[in-house]
């Protein structure tokens, strides 16, 4: 069978130009990924939450020349049988309720790319199943007694330090070395300050078009305020901030600095520049509590609800405020929802 990687169709336009940047390190990553785009080996893309890992994977897939689709799945919440069912599918009667055949995502990605996001959150049992798929290129759908083969190229992304997780016994070393045959690490936005102006202009125009508004100009003071902020949520946070600013803009030629000042001075944001709002570690949030301390779960619920309120329900921005990944935030919300008992009144996490 002819390998799908032997196809020679090349896009007329460099697929990486869709990623807005003027940063030298980013261009180095583009050149590297262009070089390995036609390799059959897995690619591991690392970067903080919101840096644009999925955009990088999309460009990599286009550069590969593969005829098959790009199939993406966030594996963080897939444990045990759910991982197998999602990736490998099942035959009819595999388990109670399996009334028809389901083709898993591996089959859907045939001839293309299977993108596994948040690979660092995959549990040990599922890691073993993925390792076998990578080693042997075969798999069993649930309930099947005959293996299926795949030629899908596997690409993974994570915000985690997988080498640290290996030393802690949380991630298999053999799987890590399989996945990282080709590896790229995307720098956070705070390490490519020059991209802020470029991205801001792009997001202002994009948001104005989406909101059916005239495109406002951007002042130097507006950009300097953004460049003084360290953006824990990276490009995704910048995009949400600019969309909110354009939505709140009341008119006029120039986008008002006041449209972002409230957000950046909010206690949930910590700026690295002048006018920073810093947390005083000598101050305790419990100083006003004279009675018994609230439970840990009650504090967590209120903290999550407040972050979601301040971010207007944007989970990416809320996660950045709390210093956790969006996947971790969503997992905590789901756990707290399941933990509600006896009609106890809690902050309205069910709204998000």
> Terminus-to-terminus CA distance in the chain, angstroms?
48
Task: Please give, one letter per residue, the 3-state secondary structure of 224-242.
Answer: HHHHCECCCCHHHHHHHHH
Whole-structure pTM value: 0.71
DSSP string, 39-106: -SS-EEEE--TTS-HHHHHHHHHHHHT-SSPEEEEE-TT--THHHHHHHHEE-TTSSTT--S-EE-HH
Question: How large is the average pLDDT for residues 39-64?
Answer: 97
Question: How large is the average pLDDT for residues 70-93?
Answer: 84
CA-CA-CA-CA dihedral for 16, 21, 25, 31, to nearest 10? 20
Average the pLDDT over each of 18-22, 68-72, 141-145, 165-169 and give the range with the smallest value.
141-145
Average pLDDT, the chain: 83
Most confident of 27-31, 85-89, 94-98: 27-31
Tens digit of pLDDT for each residue in 166-219? 999 999 999 999 999 999 999 999 999 999 999 999 999 999 999 999 999 999
Tens digit of pLDDT for each residue in 268-319? 444 433 333 344 444 455 655 666 777 877 888 888 888 888 776 778 777 7
Are 43 and 182 within 8 A, CB to CB? yes
Judging by DSSP bridges, how do beta strands 43-46 and 153-158 pair with one another? parallel
DSSP string, 241-302: HHHHHHHH--SSSB--THHHHHHHHSTT--BSSTT-----TT--TTTT--SSPPPHHHHHHH
């Amino acid at each position: 069978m002819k390998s799908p990687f032997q196809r020679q169709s090349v896009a007329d336009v460099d697929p990486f130009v869709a990623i807005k940047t003027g940063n030298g390190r980013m261009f180095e990553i583009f050149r590297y990924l262009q070089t390995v785009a036609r390799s059959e080996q897995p690619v591991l893309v690392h970067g903080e939450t919101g840096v644009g890992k999925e955009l990088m994977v999309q460009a990599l897939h286009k550069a590969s020349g593969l005829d098959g689709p790009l199939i993406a799945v966030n594996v963080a919440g897939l444990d045990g049988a759910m991982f197998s069912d999602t990736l490998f599918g099942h035959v009819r009667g595999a388990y109670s309720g399996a009334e028809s055949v389901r083709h898993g995502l591996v089959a859907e990605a045939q001839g293309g790319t299977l993108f596994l996001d948040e690979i660092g959150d995959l549990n040990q049992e599922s890691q073993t199943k993925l390792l076998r798929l990578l080693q042997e290129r075969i798999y069993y759908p649930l309930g099947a007694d005959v293996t299926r083969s795949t030629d899908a190229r596997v690409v993974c992304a994570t915000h985690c330090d997988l080498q640290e997780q290996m030393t802690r016994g949380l991630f298999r070393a053999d799987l890590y070395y399989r996945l990282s045959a080709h590896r790229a690490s995307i720098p956070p936005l705070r390490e490519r300050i020059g991209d802020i102006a470029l991205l801001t202009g792009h997001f202002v125009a994009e948001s104005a078009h989406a909101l059916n508004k005239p495109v406002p100009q951007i002042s130097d003071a507006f950009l300097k305020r953004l460049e003084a902020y360290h953006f824990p949520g990276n490009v995704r946070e910048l995009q949400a901030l600019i969309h909110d600013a354009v939505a709140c803009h009341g008119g006029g030629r120039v986008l008002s600095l006041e449209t972002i000042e409230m957000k950046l001075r909010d206690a949930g944001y910590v700026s690295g520049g002048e006018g920073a709002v810093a947390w005083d570690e000598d101050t305790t949030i419990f100083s006003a509590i004279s009675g018994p301390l609230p439970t840990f779960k009650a504090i967590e619920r209120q903290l999550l609800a407040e972050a979601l309120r301040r971010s207007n329900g944007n989970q990416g921005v809320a996660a950045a405020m709390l210093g956790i990944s969006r996947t971790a935030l969503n997992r905590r919300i789901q756990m707290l929802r399941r933990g509600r008992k006896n009609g106890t009144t809690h902050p309205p996490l069910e709204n998000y």
